[in-house]
Amino acid sequence: MHNWDFAATLGDIDFLLLGLWNTLQVFGLALVFGIPLGLAIALGRMSRIPVLSQLCSFVIEFFRTTPPLVQLFWFFFALPILISVQMTPFVASVLTFSIQSSAFFAEIFRGGINSIDKGQWEAAKAIGMTRPVCLRRIILPQAVKRMIPAFAERSIELLKTTTLISTVSYADLMFQANELASKTFRPLEVYTVVAVMYFFLILVFSQLTILLEHRLARSGEGTLR
C-alpha cells in the first residue's frame, strides 16, 4: 500500500502557485483578445457580403473542428518557420487560444444576436438609426445578457483547455506539476494536489455562473426557466 506523503508537494506549493498564475495569465489574455475577435467574426459571418461571410464561416468551422492541441503545435512549431519569427511558448499559447476561443465566441454572439426579435431592428430603422448604431445601442445590450451563461460555459472550457500549453513547455500549472513530480518522485501526491487545485478553481467559476444565471432569471432575461 502506498504511503501518502504530501510534505514534499506542499513544501513546494509556491512553485505550483506560480504555475497557476501563469495559467490565469494565458486564460485572461485569451479572453481579452478572443471576445472582441469573436464579435468581429460573428458580424463578418452575418454580413451581407458573400465573400466575407463565407470566409468567416470557414474560419469558425475550421477552428471548431480541429483539436486545440493540433492548433497549438501548428502555431508553435510551424508558424515560426513560415513567417520566420521567434515564437515563445507564451505567445503561441495566447495566439492559439485567442483564435480558437474566438471561433466559439463568434457562434455564441451569432446565436445571441439572432435571438433578438426582428421587430427591434425594424423599430430602430424606423427612428432613423443606421445598422451599426442599432447594433450597438439596441441589439447588443439585449443579446449580451442572454449570452452570459454560454459565455461562462465556454470560458470554463477554455480554462480547462489551457492545460495543453504544458506540452509546449510553457510553465503553467500542469507543466509545473510535471516538473515537481519528476523532482520529488511523488507523482501521486503532486497530480492529486493539482487536480484538486483545478477542481476548486473551476468550481468557483461554475458556481459564479449559476449565481449569475439565477440573477438573470429574476430580471426576466435569463435562459433559466
Partner 1 sequence: MQHTWNFASVFAYWDVLLIGLWGTVYLFVLTCVIGLAGGLVVGMLRYSKNGWISYPARLYVEVFRNTPVLVQIIWFFFALPVVIGVEVSAFMAAFLGITLNTIAFSAEVFRGGIQSIEREQWEAGKAIGMSYAKTMRRIILPQALKRMLPPLTSRGIEVFKMSTLASVVAYPETLQQAKLIASYEYNPIEAYTVVAIMFFLVLLPMVQLTYLLERRFGKSD
Per CB under 8 A, residues contacting partner 1 are: 2, 61-62, 64-71, 73-74, 77-78, 81-82, 84, 159-164, 166-167, 174, 177-178, 181, 187-188, 190-192, 194-195, 198-199, 202-203, 206
Q: Which residues contact 120 (CB under 8 A, 6 or more apart)?
A: 134, 138, 139, 142
- The CA distance from 19 to 37, in Å, is 27
Q: Which residue number, 83 or 127, has a Cβ lying nearer to partner 1?
A: 83
Nearest-approach distance from CB 127 to partner 1, in angstroms = 31
Q: Which residue number, 133 or 210, has a Cβ lying nearer to partner 1?
A: 210
Residue indicated by cell numbers 492559439: 96
Residue indicated by cell numbers 518557420: 81
Nearest-approach distance from CB 220 to partner 1, in angstroms = 20
Nearest-approach distance from CB 136 to partner 1, in angstroms = 29
**Sequence letter at residue 189:** E
Coil/strand/helix, residue 115: helix
Q: Which residue number, 139 or 201, has a Cβ lying nearer to partner 1?
A: 201
Residue indicated by cell numbers 458556481: 207
Number of residues assigned to the chain: 225
- The CA distance from 22 to 14, in Å, is 12
Q: Which residue number, 69 or 129, has a Cβ lying nearer to partner 1?
A: 69
Nearest-approach distance from CB 212 to partner 1, in angstroms = 17
Q: Which residue number, 43 or 164, has a Cβ lying nearer to partner 1?
A: 164
Nearest-approach distance from CB 72 to partner 1, in angstroms = 10
Grid coordinates representing 19 are 504555475
